[in-house]
Each structure stands twice: as structure tokens, then as C-alpha cells.
Amino acid sequence: MKNFTSRMEAVQSPIIPVVGELIKNSPGTISLGQGVVSYSPPPEAIELLPQFLAEPTNHLYKAVEGIPPLLTVLAAKLQSFNGIEINDENRIVVTAGSNMGFMNAILAITSVGDEIILNTPYYFNHEMAIIMAGCRPVLVETDENYQLRADAIAQAITPKTRAVVTISPNNPTGAVYSKSLLEQVNQICRDRGIYHISDEAYEYFTYNGVKHTSPGAFPGSSEYTISLYSLSKAYGFASWRIGYMVIPKHLLVAVKKVQDTNLICPPVVSQYAALGALQAKQEYLSKNIEAIAQVRELVLESLNRLEGLCTIAPADGAFYFFLKVNTQIDSFELVKRLIQEHQVAVIPGTTFGMNHGCYLRVAYGALQKETAKEGIERLVRGLKKIVSTSFLCVLCALCGSFPSCALAHLYTKLV
């Protein structure tokens, strides 16, 4: 067999299984890694499953874009929560999670060699999908608070650009983009004749009175805005694999070609569960998100003790903090040491395209208060010890003294 080079060799390996293996080899580790919630789907999701089982034809293939009852409920949700009207200009397509929605969109709007603009730090599955499609991700840096820089986005557009991707609330940073900032980006896409792909998987997770904005609700934006949604987070639906996308009508044929090839139709049993979940009382979402908000405050209080060792940008959404660690240690090496020496897991920033400096993503959505408190305390203690030790090594190398020098002792007491 000849040694062929596959396009997949250019795609980064998923980091979650790698960190998962490290956790497995260090029993007792608390994970602040994977972005999931701790709670289960609402009872309404399970209560609807007998209806699925009662209809024999549900075991056959169904419509590529989703079952009609679910499409109807989604249209109502989009109108009431997102301000997006489903009309003659757009369509809903149910997908196996919003990651599939993103891949559907990329394959529908690009040819090999085209460019997609990602804002860094990016969501790693987005970057992976673009490369898999034979396209090129063009990276645009955000500002010090991980907010979009509309001028830099405009300057990055070339004749090969097909779309700009925004994620708000953001994974991995927790940043939430303002309406005015999203309007600027959406207008740039309109003016330049490209698509605006808006990933809104964390739409319900906002704090401190911050509001979520859906670019698909902007007047006249239906023709070039692609909006992606997921039940995985807010409804505890991670393994059910149900998301949906709102696309311009002219993309429907292309998206259906992609989805029919990869999936044929979204899992019908999961669509029934989603139909039930979306009819849950509002208290289900508000109660669970309030519990995460309380964990968030606890985590932030502990992280603030790392002032001087880490920079923590404002994060009013999702369930992440993205730390810039003031150290020369490689971020993946730091993650390994935190797991092996302090039994706490986070995700390295290199996974999100941050290759200069040491960054860590801290996820807190999957933990109850007690576990979160212990996990974040382990992280704080671990970072203080590892980063301080690293600093001492540099300090002693510079002054030529053994680590027992008076200056080293003083620094140890300060941290």
C-alpha cells in the first residue's frame, strides 16, 4: 500500500479524548474540561417517547430537514426568543447537533480553496471542519477582552472569503458580543456579498443582565445569515445529538444534499424528545441556568485570587473562563501537570488557536457547587505552585543562586 497523504493529516486531533485519557490515568481528577451541563433533559422530553414508539412508521426514514411538528415548535421558539421570523426567505433544518449544522453550511457555501474567517480564540471543531472541507481558515485576533474587531475582520476579507463566523455567547472565552458589534459584522457581510455564520449554541447562558442577540433577526439579513442552534447545552441533550440551523432559502437544496449524504435524516427518536423538551415550562431553563450562575460566581471568586499569575477577561456568557497564564510553560504541558500533580483538568489554549502564550479554558457547567469548589481550589493551588516554581527556576537561573536564596524564600511566601 502506497503511503498516501490524506487531508485529515492537516486536521488537529480532538483534544477532549486526549485529556479524557489523562484523566482516566489519574483517578479522582475533577474535570473542568468538557463543555457540558450537569442536569438531565426535562421530563417532557422522556414523556413524549411513547408517542414515537406507538407509530410504526417512525422506524423508517423521515424528512431530511426534520419532522413537521418539531419544525413548527422551532419556528415559534425562534420568533419569540430570537426575533427571527420564518418566512419565504429562510428555512429551518434540524441537524444532529450544531456541529453538523456548521459542516452543512461550510460544504454548502464553499469550493475547495475558499476562505472562512474565524475570530481567535476559535472553537476547535469549526477550524477542523473548514480544513476537512479543503478550505482555509483565516484567523482574526479579538481584542484584550476577546471582543470582535470589526475593522480587522473587514481587512481580512479577500475574493476567496465566503463567510465570517461569530460565536456568541462564546466558546471558549465566555464573551458575549453586543448588538451593535454584531450589527457591524453583519453589515460587513452584506456589503461584501459573503455569509455571516452565527453560532448560538449558548444562547440562554448569559449573566449580569447581559442580553443575547441573534444576527438573523436584523432587518434584511435572511439572505446571507446562517444561524446555528443546539439543544445539547440548555436542555441537557448532549448525547441525543439534536440541533438546528436557520438558512437562506436559496441554500436549502445544497444543505439537503449534504445532510442526505451524511445523515439521511436527523434521528427521529431524538426529534420526538426535542419536541417534548421545547414544551417544558420556563422554570426548567431558569432554575438550571440560575444554578450554573451560582457556580460561576464561586468559580470567579476563586480565580480572582490568581491576580498577577493569570489574566481573566470579562465573561458574561456560556460557562467558560479563558485564562491567560503568565508563564513560559507550554499550555498542554501545564494541563498534563495539573492533572497528574493536582488532579484537576482544563483544556489548553493551543486547541483554540492560541499558540503564543499560555492559555487555559476552564469549564464549570458540568459541576455541582461542592464539586466545583473543590475543583477550582485544586486549579488555583496547582497554578500557584507550578507557575511559582517555574518563576523560581527562571529567577535562580538569572541570579545564579541555589533556590534556597533569600529572594526565592521571599517570593515563595508572597505566593
Domain ranges for the chain, please list them: 9-35+283-414, 43-277
Judge whether 167 and 35 are in contact, CB under 8 Å.
no
Within 10 A of 22 (CB to CB), how many other CB atoms are there?
A: 18
Nearest to 133 by CA among 118, 115, 117, 112: 112
* pLDDT tens, position by position, 308-333: 999 999 999 999 999 999 999 999 99
Judge whether 223 and 215 are in contact, CB under 8 Å.
no
Whole-number pLDDT of residue 411: 46
* CATH class in words for 9-35+283-414: alpha beta
Looking at every residue in the chain, the average pLDDT score rounds to 92
Do 9-35+283-414 and 43-277 have matching folds?
A: no
CATH topology of domain 43-277: Aspartate Aminotransferase; domain 2 (3.40.640)
* pLDDT tens, position by position, 298-311: 999 999 999 999 99
3-state class of 119 per DSSP?
Answer: strand
> Model confidence at 369, in pLDDT bands (50, 70, 90)?
confident
Distance of alpha carbon 267 from its chain centroid, rounded? 23
pTM, full prediction: 0.92
Whole-number pLDDT of residue 390: 58
Of 392 and 150, the one with more pLDDT: 150
Residues 6+ apart with CB under 8 A from 402: 396
Q: What is the mean pLDDT of residues 247-251?
A: 98
Residues 6+ apart with CB under 8 A from 48: 272, 273, 275, 276
* pLDDT tens, position by position, 89-101: 999 999 999 999 9
Nearest to 247 by CA among 378, 394, 74, 116: 74
Q: What is the residue type of 77?
A: K
Of 403 and 179, the one with more pLDDT: 179
* pLDDT tens, position by position, 328-349: 999 999 999 999 999 999 999 9
Whole-number pLDDT of residue 400: 52
3-state class of 136 per DSSP?
Answer: strand
The answer to whether the peptide bond before residue 169 is cis (omega within 30 degrees of 0) is: yes
Judge whether 195 and 225 are in contact, CB under 8 Å.
yes
Q: What is the mean pLDDT of residues 64-86?
A: 98
Judge whether 52 and 58 are in contact, CB under 8 Å.
yes
